[in-house]
């Protein structure tokens, strides 16, 4: 039959399982069971021109964007709230958190794709590798890493365009002097 001890154990088990239920619902998958498919990574420099009293001023912004899908043991994860932190390294240095990009929003759509995007003034974005570390919102353990590379030209300006044109003309001249008409 039924005893007070059996009833207490059953109630304890029920309360224990009821306490675990919100935790199970909060995270759809253990981070170690998550895999990523990167659908595209985009990095570029966006320029805007502003008219000032002293002339035209160009402002440059480094833009980063990555699209990806997450899977839990092969099943697509849809509509989960995610966040990302961005880290930076130059060459083989250790990664360091990028100032101003600690909690970057991650957008999602109904098909299960996610997108993380961020932009900063070019002078704050040196050449190197930028890594977006993605985790479930409110969790600290990462579920995915996305690497994006940014390269700042060493020398720019109108004189570089003239130099490039000169090099192309010299190559064309060389090619023309090497070709002999057939008799």
pLDDT at 8: 64
pLDDT at 23: 45
pLDDT at 65: 93
Residue with tokens 């995270």: 27
pLDDT at 153: 60
Round the CA-based radius of gyration of the chain to a whole number and report it. Answer: 27
Structural contact between residues 98 and 87, judged by C-beta atoms closer than 8 angstroms: yes
pLDDT at 22: 45
CATH class of domain segment(s) 31-178 = mainly beta
Question: For every residue of the chain, which 3-state class applies, written as one string?
Answer: CCCHHHHHHHHHHHHHHHHHHHHHHHCCCCHHHEEEEEEEEEEEEEEEEEEECCEEEEEEEEEEEEEEEEEECCEECCCCCEEEEEEEECCCCCCEECCCCCCEEEEECCCCEEEEEEEEEHHHCCCEEEEEEEEECCCCCEEEEEEEEECCCCCCCHHHHHHHHHHHHHHHHHHHHHCCCCC
pLDDT at 52: 87
Q: Which of 132, 39, 46 is nearest to 83 (CA)?
A: 132
Q: Which residues of the chain have pLDDT under 50?
A: 20-26
Count, residues in the chain? 183
* Residue 170, both tokens: 């010299």
pLDDT at 142: 94
**What is the C-alpha to C-alpha distance for residues 31 and 8, in angstroms, rounded to an integer?**
35
- The verdict on pTM exceeding 0.75 is no
pLDDT at 172: 74
167: which residues sit within 8 A by CB, 6+ positions away? none
pLDDT at 122: 82
pLDDT at 88: 93
Q: Residue 132: what are its φ and ψ, rounded to 5°?
A: -90, 120
**What is the C-alpha to C-alpha distance for residues 72 and 74, in angstroms, rounded to an integer?**
5
pLDDT at 26: 45
């Amino acid at each position: 039959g039924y005893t007070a001890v059996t009833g207490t154990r059953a109630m304890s088990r029920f309360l224990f399982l009821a306490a675990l239920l919100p935790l199970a619902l909060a995270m759809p998958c253990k981070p170690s069971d998550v895999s990523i498919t990167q659908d595209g990574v985009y990095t570029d420099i966006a320029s805007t021109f502003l008219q000032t009293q002293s002339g035209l001023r160009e402002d440059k912004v480094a833009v980063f964007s990555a699209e990806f899908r997450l899977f839990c043991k092969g099943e697509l994860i849809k509509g989960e709230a995610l966040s990302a932190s961005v880290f930076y390294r130059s060459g083989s240095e250790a990664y360091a958190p990028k100032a101003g990009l600690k909690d970057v929003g991650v957008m999602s759509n109904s098909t299960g794709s996610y997108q993380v995007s961020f932009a900063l003034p070019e002078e704050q974005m040196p050449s190197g590798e930028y890594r977006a570390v993605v985790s479930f919102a409110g969790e600290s353990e990462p579920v995915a890493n996305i690497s994006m590379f940014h390269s700042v030209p060493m020398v720019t300006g109108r004189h570089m365009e003239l130099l490039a044109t000169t090099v192309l003309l010299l190559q064309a001249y060389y090619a023309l002097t090497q070709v002999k008409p057939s008799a």
